[in-house]
A and B are shown apart, each in its own frame.
Chain A
Amino acid sequence: MTDDSAPLVVEPMTILVCAFHVRRDDRLDSLADDIVALLEPDGTVLDLSRFDRRADVVELRKIDRRPKERR
């Protein structure tokens, strides 16, 4: 059966790397450096799509590639 929570089932697990406050932080260059540095090794997937509108906070996340038993 499908239900409202079902879309999340197919989403891979992600790990929070850092949060960036859009109206307070002034370190875009270092965030960009971090993103490029984190893009190793092959198969690294970084996600910036999570955004808390009320807090104006953007999260940098990374798909968790660890085996399930080690999470």
Chain B
Amino acid sequence: MRSAVILVKNGIGFGHIRRALLIAEALQHAGRIRPVIISQASSLALYQATSVRVVNFPLLHRVPSAITEDFYTDLMNRVLERLSPAVVIEDTYPDARYRHLAALIDRPRILVMRRLDETSFDRIRERGDFAHYDRILIAQDERDFRQEEHSPESLAAIEYGSQFAFVGNIFATASSADIADVRRAYTSTRPLIVVNGGAGGDQMPDGYGDRLFNACSQVAAALAEEGNPARFVFVTGPYYAGRPLHPTENVEVRRFEPRLSALLAAADVAVIKPGNNALSETLAGQARLILVPDVSFMEGLDEHAERVASRYDGSVGEPSRASLEPLIREALIRPPRVERVGPSRAAIDAVVREVHRMADQSSRPSIQPKSLLLMLFPPGHGDAESIRKCLPRELEDAVVVGDGGPAVRFGQILPSMSTGPRAVVVGADTRGIQPQELVEAGVQLLIHGRESAPVARWLRLHPPSPALLSISAEFVVARVESAERVHRRLARLLERSASAVLVLDLGGMPTEELPTYLQLVGSWLSAQPVQLVNLQAIVSASAARLLERKD
């Protein structure tokens, strides 16, 4: 059986490894490909009961000597060479180390990416790091993603390109029985407050964990003093390095709770760092949310916490008694949260499908012929429909501009009923219309001549969102006697690049000559290693350019 390797690193939390395990276990269950996790982690705690194969390395960027780092990198490469994976799955952060491993070069690659803040997403895109993946599966709800403030270019790359797909959040969901069991184990009768700061690691030396748990200890002591029945469970995480925490009558301390997802779902009040997993697991239950953001790596937790609190009627606090005590007291008297995130296998199933598809595809690579988007301007005396009628079979995929189809000239009205991507052919005169109006009319692509400076300036002055893609085209005026010149132009154009756009202006062509002329062009093209492509293909290719490195 062929292998799929899942490359994952954990820094200060467990989220990446939990996600990798969920994917690997689903792949193993499907039985078509053998998953192997290659991890870089300082704890094996989550692997205790796994049914998948794992090779764990230390975090290579933290290995204290260069020679040992080289040793590990070399060994990882040799192990991967022997595993010869049909598909490589990476988690969230594109890693140059993996990119340069000889054993992984030319393997199909998938990036499964949980939520990143907007700036980090842009930075990764502009560095060109997304361009190394065949598919990028965003493990986040699409609606949530769109509510964040992503740049127009990132939105365009995702919306119009073919690399990205939203699969939805991937997290562990506890069964109702597990939730009931864990609830019984901690308390059946008293209000249950669960406090968790992820796996307990610190991103910065700011004592977040120490402050969070000690603040909650003080709140618990104050409530106990008053005879408040609330019971606290502190799940500190194995990396917790704050002051020792003492259990009391109303506080239980756990360094590691393997049933944390059930415990969070069973809580009445959850005081948590809103990392991806703890938050998702809490949202599966009805706990009132108190989110205590910490400095994060590429997650922008402050803004994220505000958004989540606003959507789920929770609150955002700081890791101090002054901040948390009133929030906890208030949460204890509020009714349970109504909106919950239901368990779903859809996200994991989507990843499994993609891995299978990629593994099947990888056995038969193919080289695409050169692509040409041929756009036809109809003659002044004939309408677009009459041009379409006399198109030879070889030119059936040409786009007739302004025929009620997907492309018009600048200033013409786009038909409201057409579906799929739309394009506008634009010259130097961009007066009277704003780019955002085109976006709202469904336009994704601007096609312009070689002189693109006025169009670029117009876009710069009025940036739309998502960004409008733009591509340069060759413009040729058709002449009865000059079909061969069009052939030469195309040959020259496609000699230099894999794809091109040609706008053929049939404006001066007499009606009776049109069929013959188009037949000449069509016959010649059909004998060349060129395929006529539609707008969708050009839009996807243009969106992919947004993933290339900006120097």
Chain B, Cβ-Cβ closest to A9: B255
Contacts of B78 in A (CB 8 A): 28-29, 31-32
Say yes or no: A36-B79 contact (C-beta < 8 A), given A45-B44, A48-B72, A53-B64.
yes
Contacts of B175 in A (CB 8 A): none
In this complex, how many residues of chain B approach chain A with their Cβ under 8 Å: the count is 43
B295 to chain A, nearest CB (A): 22
Q: Which of A25-51 contact B (CB under 8 A)?
A: 28-29, 31-33, 35-36, 39, 42-49, 51
Is B55 a contact partner of A48 (Cβ separation < 8 A)? yes
Say yes or no: A46-B55 contact (C-beta < 8 A), given A7-B255, A36-B79.
yes
Chain B, Cβ-Cβ closest to A39: B53
Taken residue by residue from 1 to 18, chain A's Cβ proximity to chain B (1 for < 8 Å, 0 otherwise) reads as 111001101111010000
**B430: interface (CB < 8 Å):** no
Contacts of B51 in A (CB 8 A): 42-43
- In the complex, what distance in Å separates the CA atom of A51 from the CA atom of B53? 21
Is A58 a contact partner of B71 (Cβ separation < 8 A)? yes
B104 to chain A, nearest CB (A): 15
- In the complex, what distance in Å separates the CA atom of A35 from the CA atom of B57? 12
Is B68 a contact partner of A7 (Cβ separation < 8 A)? no
A28 to chain B, nearest CB (A): 6
Is B67 a contact partner of A23 (Cβ separation < 8 A)? yes
Contacts of B64 in A (CB 8 A): 53
- In the complex, what distance in Å separates the CA atom of A6 from the CA atom of B48? 17
Taken residue by residue from 52 to 81, chain B's Cβ proximity to chain A (1 for < 8 Å, 0 otherwise) reads as 111111100001110110011011001101
**B119: interface (CB < 8 Å):** no
Say yes or no: A46-B56 contact (C-beta < 8 A), given A35-B79, A36-B82.
yes
Contacts of B71 in A (CB 8 A): 22, 28, 58
In this complex, which of B43, B67, B81, B240 has the most chain A Cβ atoms within 10 angstroms of its Cβ? Answer: B43
**B45: interface (CB < 8 Å):** yes
- In the complex, what distance in Å separates the CA atom of A33 from the CA atom of B45? 26
Say yes or no: A12-B48 contact (C-beta < 8 A), given A1-B247, A2-B244.
yes
Contacts of A35 in B (CB 8 A): 55, 75, 79
Contacts of A9 in B (CB 8 A): 255-256
Is B55 a contact partner of A28 (Cβ separation < 8 A)? no
- In the complex, what distance in Å separates the CA atom of A53 from the CA atom of B236? 29
Is A11 a contact partner of B72 (Cβ separation < 8 A)? no
Is A31 a contact partner of B255 (Cβ separation < 8 A)? no
B289 to chain A, nearest CB (A): 25
A18 to chain B, nearest CB (A): 13
B248 to chain A, nearest CB (A): 10
- In the complex, what distance in Å separates the CA atom of A7 from the CA atom of B241? 9
In this complex, which of A3, A10, A56, A63 has the most chain B Cβ atoms within 10 angstroms of its Cβ? Answer: A10
**B467: interface (CB < 8 Å):** no
**B121: interface (CB < 8 Å):** no
Contacts of B75 in A (CB 8 A): 28, 31-32, 35, 48
Is A1 a contact partner of B246 (Cβ separation < 8 A)? yes
- In the complex, what distance in Å separates the CA atom of A58 from the CA atom of B72? 9
| Contact among B44, B68, B238 with A56 in the assembled complex (CB-CB below 8 Å) | B68
- In the complex, what distance in Å separates the CA atom of A21 from the CA atom of B71? 10
| Contact among B36, B82, B255 with A10 in the assembled complex (CB-CB below 8 Å) | B255
Sampled A-B contacts (27; CB under 8 Å):
A1-B246, A7-B238, A10-B45, A11-B44, A11-B238, A12-B47, A14-B44, A22-B68, A28-B74, A28-B78, A31-B78, A32-B79, A36-B79, A36-B82, A36-B83, A39-B36, A39-B55, A43-B51, A44-B54, A45-B53, A47-B56, A48-B55, A48-B75, A53-B64, A56-B67, A56-B68, A58-B72
With A28-B78, A49-B41, A49-B42 known, 4 other A-B pairs at CB within 8 A are A7-B240, A12-B44, A32-B81, A43-B53
Q: Please provide the 7 A-B residue pairs with the shortest distance between their CB atoms, ordered closest to farther.
A: A32-B78, A10-B256, A49-B58, A45-B54, A12-B48, A36-B82, A45-B47
